[in-house]
Each structure stands twice: as structure tokens, then as C-alpha cells.
Chains A and B, each alone.
Chain A
Amino acid sequence: MPLPFIPIVIIGGAALLTGGGLTLNAQSKIKKAKAEHEATYSDYKVKYDNYTVYYAGTEKRLQEVGQVRADGMQAVREAIDFIRKARLVNPNIISDADFSIQDLESLDQAYGDILKILGGAGSSLAGGVGAGALTALGAHGAVAAFGTASTGAAIGSLSGAAASSATLAWFGGGALAAGGLGIAGGTAVLGGIVAAPAIIGFGVFRQVKAGQVQKEAAEKIRKIKVNEAEIGRDQAKLRAVRERCCEVQRAGHELTEQLKIALHNASPNIAEDVYRIVQIAKALRAVIDESVIPANQQSSTRSQRSNGSLTIKTCAVAGCRRQASVGRHCTGHRQS
């Protein structure tokens, strides 16, 4: 090769190598960003699916509360019949039990209201209740307020800029495969020298595009990770809803059972028996009326202290870290 062409060849070759290297490197960055995004999204999908199952399970718990309410009102119905019998024997017997005609009518009304929720006066509580009605009986407020069940579709893919291009790889790789510098090659190299800035420019362009793809992937990954954290938080809220379901369910079930036992052993002629039935029926009705999920989210006065802070005190006994929001001793130390 003539001597003057050597620097030309060297510069041309360097330009081609640099441009090709930049393009290949950009390609690798795009692939890596895409892979990281896909892996993050796959993990998120699993957590999201688990969350939707948990959400559905919470709605099931509400149905179970609805069933307890239906059972409770059935027992209240029997108590109403007992009280009416007692009134026939002694009209004053219910006022002795601290119970008025209006209270009796109110209980009757409550029973009628439950029947309406179930779909009309002809409905009955005795024959079992459908799922939709049970949820209506159980909810008193939407589970959705406590769990956002977010979707992940918008963050599941990167835009078209992330798609790999065979042409680009070819451009980066093919130029390196040129090889064979002869006179004809020298002409091509000379042409390549002219193209050298363009090749490097293209490589820089690909690097910039790769940077944009990396940024897009980082943004999507950010959204995915934040969604994941929000799902964790929403699941914690749903756990509290489940605890409340359990609380109302237990109270309703226990009062229903004790009302039935009391009715079984009671006589409408005995004032104390009537009193007992009336008190349990009133309490059961109050529990049935209680919401699991508050209809509005207004704070209760209980959570506000005079100094404006929400303080969850621990037990006054040294070393005990149990909560003592009622008084200054936890349940265990209060008993002793």
C-alpha cells in the first residue's frame, strides 16, 4: 500500500471501529434495559396476582359477615314473636324490661329492612341467602375504598424505541467485517473516511437513543416498584378490614347463639326471662347495625386527643409493650 494512504487507512479504520463499537454498545444497553424491565414486571405481576386473590378473599369475608347478620336477624325475629306472646300474657311486662312498643316496632322494622335488602317482603332468611345479598348485608361500605387493585398494563412494556433492530446490528457489525484493504479497498476506505464522521455520528445517535430507552425503562421500573409498595400497603389495609369482619362476625354469632339458648329456656310469663330476651335482642340488633367498613371516612372522636396527637399508649407496667389504649394497663395486667 502506498505510504500516504496509511494514515488515511488508520483514521478510517479507527472511525469505523469507534462507530461500530458505539452502536454495539448501544445495542447491549437497550437489551439490558429491556431485560431489567421485563424481570421487574414479572415479579410485580406475581405480587399483583396474589393481591387480587387477597382482595377477593376479603370480599368473601364480608359475605360471611352478611350470613351472620342474616342468622342474627332470624333469631331477633323469634325474639319478637316471644315478646309479643309475653305482652299477651302481661301488657306491662316489656316496660318492666326497659323496652317500649316503639322499641318492638323498631326491631320489627329492622327485620323488614333486612328482608328488603334480600329482595322483597317475600324473601326469607331461613332458607339461606345468595352471595350478592350477603355482600350487601356484610359491606356497609365498599371494599374498594380500602384497596385500589391497581392494574399494571401501562407499565408492562417499553415503547418501540426499545425494539432491537437487525439493521443496526448489521450496521455496527457489517462495517467491521469489511476487511480486505486493497486499492479498491483503499477507495472504499477513502469513501469510509468521508463516512467516518457519519459512522461515529450514527454511533453517538444510537447511544443517545439507548440512553432514552434506559430512561424510559427506569421510569417504568419506578412506577412498577411504587405500585408494588402500594399493593403492600393496600394489603395491610385489607388485613385490618378482615380483622374487623372477624370481630363483628364473632360478636354476631355469639349473641345469636346465646339468644337462641335464652329463648329455649325462657318463659313469657317470667319477667326476668323477658328482660333477658329483650336485652340480648337489642344488643344483637345493635351489632347487626354496626358497619364493617365505615360508610364515610370521618375520624372518630376517639382518635383525637386534647393535645392533637394520635397517641397509642403502651401498658404502664414496666417492660410491657402491649397496647393500652383503654386506661393505662393492657388487658393482661388489668386482670391481675
Chain B
Amino acid sequence: MVGQAAAFIGAQVIPPTISGIRDYFCAMQEENTKRQAIAANRDVLIVRITAEKEAILAYFSQRFAECRAALDEFFELLRHAVDSRDNHQLNVALAGILGIIQDNPLDDFETFKQQFHDPDYTIEI
């Protein structure tokens, strides 16, 4: 009886058990690899999107800051021109204001987006 039990265990119990354990380790390894690939892909994407965000913030805040400073000067000139009825100064002020307003920085967005992903493109700030 003992012999039969041992034979039974040897044939019906141990091999499937070993096979199950091996399958477990293989499956775990596979799932682990897939998760690592997902995390790596995620990190690459996030770094790229964050870099784009930082570039947008840096570029446009600088651009608008300079426009703002120039507009302040031209508004001052405009007020003085209207007060003193100086049409020459008025023309200078109006040309300056229109020059800034008609040059819309947001026109650069699409170009910016395309060129940002081009490795041959240079953005020097």
C-alpha cells in the first residue's frame, strides 16, 4: 500500500506540481516584463510632454513680457501725443501699437508644435 501510494504520488502529484510552479515563475516573469515596459513607455511620454510644456511656458512668457514692456512705452507716448495734440508723436505711437498687436505670438503655436518634435530643429532661449 505504501508502495502504491508512493507510486501514485510520484506519478500524479509531483510532476504537475513542479510544472505548476515552473508555469507560475514564467507567468510572473512575463507579467513583470510587461509592467516594466508600460512604466518605461509612460515615463518617456511624460518627459516629452513635460518638456514641451516647459518650452511653451518659457518661450511665450518671454515673448509676451517684451511685448508688454513695449506696449507700455507706446501707450505713454499715445497719451502724451493726444494731450499735446502732437500728430507726429501720435503716428509713432499708433504704428508701434499696431506693429505689436498685429504680430500675434499665438500664430507660432502650430509651428512650435511641429518643430518641437523635429530633432533637427533648434530652439535657443
Do A310 and B1 have beta carbons less than 8 Å apart?
A: no
Do A226 and B46 have beta carbons less than 8 Å apart?
A: yes
Do B60 and A240 have beta carbons less than 8 Å apart?
A: yes
A197 and B16 in contact, given A204-B27, A287-B101 (Cβ under 8 angstroms): yes
- Which residues of chain A from 281 to 336 have any CB-CB distance to chain B below 8 Å in the complex? 283, 286-287, 290-294, 297-300, 302-304, 308-314, 322-326, 330-332, 335
Do A11 and B9 have beta carbons less than 8 Å apart?
A: yes
Do A309 and B35 have beta carbons less than 8 Å apart?
A: no
- From B31, B53, B66, B105, A214 is in contact (CB under 8 Å) with B31
A100 adjacent to chain B (CB < 8 Å) = no
Q: How many A-B residue pairs have CB under 8 A?
A: 232
- Which residues of chain A from 206 to 226 have any CB-CB distance to chain B below 8 Å in the complex? 207-208, 211-212, 214-215, 218-219, 221-222, 225-226
A70 adjacent to chain B (CB < 8 Å) = no
Interface of A is mostly: helix
- Which residues of chain B from 5 to 36 have any CB-CB distance to chain A below 8 Å in the complex? 5-6, 9, 12-13, 16-17, 20-21, 23-24, 27-28, 30-32, 34-35
Do A298 and B124 have beta carbons less than 8 Å apart?
A: no
Do B94 and A283 have beta carbons less than 8 Å apart?
A: yes
Listed stretches A72-80, A87-95, A121-129, A254-262; interface member: A254-262
- From B20, B56, B87, A233 is in contact (CB under 8 Å) with B56
Q: How far is the CA of A241 from the CA of B61 in the complex (A)?
A: 11
Do A290 and B87 have beta carbons less than 8 Å apart?
A: no
- From B13, B38, B61, A215 is in contact (CB under 8 Å) with B38
User: Which B residues fall within an 8 A CB radius of A?
Assistant: 1-2, 5-6, 9, 12-13, 16-17, 20-21, 23-24, 27-28, 30-32, 34-35, 38-39, 41-42, 45-46, 49-50, 52-53, 56-57, 59-71, 73, 75, 78-79, 82, 85, 87, 90-91, 94, 97-98, 100-112, 115, 121-125
Contacts A207-B24, A251-B101, A300-B111 known; list 5 others, CB within 8 Å.
A197-B12, A229-B45, A243-B64, A279-B90, A290-B101
Name 16 A/B residue pairs within 8 A (Cβ), A-sorted.
Answer: A197-B20, A208-B27, A214-B31, A218-B34, A239-B60, A240-B64, A240-B109, A255-B78, A280-B90, A283-B97, A293-B106, A298-B107, A312-B62, A314-B125, A323-B62, A323-B63
